[in-house]
Structure 1
Amino acid sequence: MFARVSTYTTSPDNPGTPTEETIGRVLELPGCLGLYYLKGKDSQSLSITLWDTEDDLAGSREPANEIRSETAREQHMQVLGVEEFEVLASRFQD
């Protein structure tokens, strides 16, 4: 499994909550396993998308960049960075 983590800064009057349309567009990308949107302090937020294979991650770069740019413009957010990772462990409590 692989992950892409995008870091944003939001305006004080915008919570950075993604729209259902944005979530749907991401989940429709081939190999997308799921996503998280996280809101931190000081107007910083993260999105984490999970991908089945490294090829799925690579194939999603261009459409994900487009979705990210459109969303940032619409919601008056600034993209601070985008990083990709291999997920080495994942576990949830039952």
Structure 2
Amino acid sequence: MTMYARISTFTTSPDTDLHANENATMLRVLANPGCRGMYFLRGTENNTALAITLWDSEDSLAGSREASDTIRADTIVEQHLTIVGVEEFEVTTSTFIG
């Protein structure tokens, strides 16, 4: 099964609290049709953060762009982030140990 991913890269600020709204933001993302999961990562040695969302099809990824843009814009304001870039990928390999 082919999956797709969107990776948003942010720069954080001293006022960034990435846990402040995490549940509300994640629920908004996961409510999009075809969303299979989300990760939010904060860099340990710099002011960088990544949001990675996973999608069950290229159509779901494409169909989520407008909603994702809105959620991202809201998150930038709420969390005092600066957007560096947004890229989309085909997931070619994945492995989970659980």
Which residue of structure 1 lines up, in the alignment, with residue 92 of structure 2? 88
Structure 1 alignment gaps of length 5 or more? none
Structure 2 unmatched ranges of 5 or more = none
SS in 2 for 1:80: strand
What's the counterpart of residue 23 of structure 1? 26
Alignment-derived partner of residue 3 in structure 1: 5
Asked if 1:52 corresponds to 2:31, the answer is: no
TM-score by length of 2: 0.90
Deviation at 1:13, TM superposition (A): 3.4
1:52 partner amino acid? D
Q: Which residue of 1 aligns with 2:81?
A: 77
- Report the equivalent of 2:37: 34
Deviation at 1:14, TM superposition (A): 1.8
Aligned residues: 94
SS in 2 for 1:49: strand
Show CA shifts across 1:26-71 (max 9, x none): 0000000001000003110000000000000000000000000011
Instruction: Give identity over the alignment, percent.
Output: 53
Alignment check: 8 A CA contact 1:4 1:84 kept: yes
Letter in 1 for 2:24: E
The alignment yields a C-alpha RMSD, in angstroms, of 1.1
SS in 1 for 2:49: strand
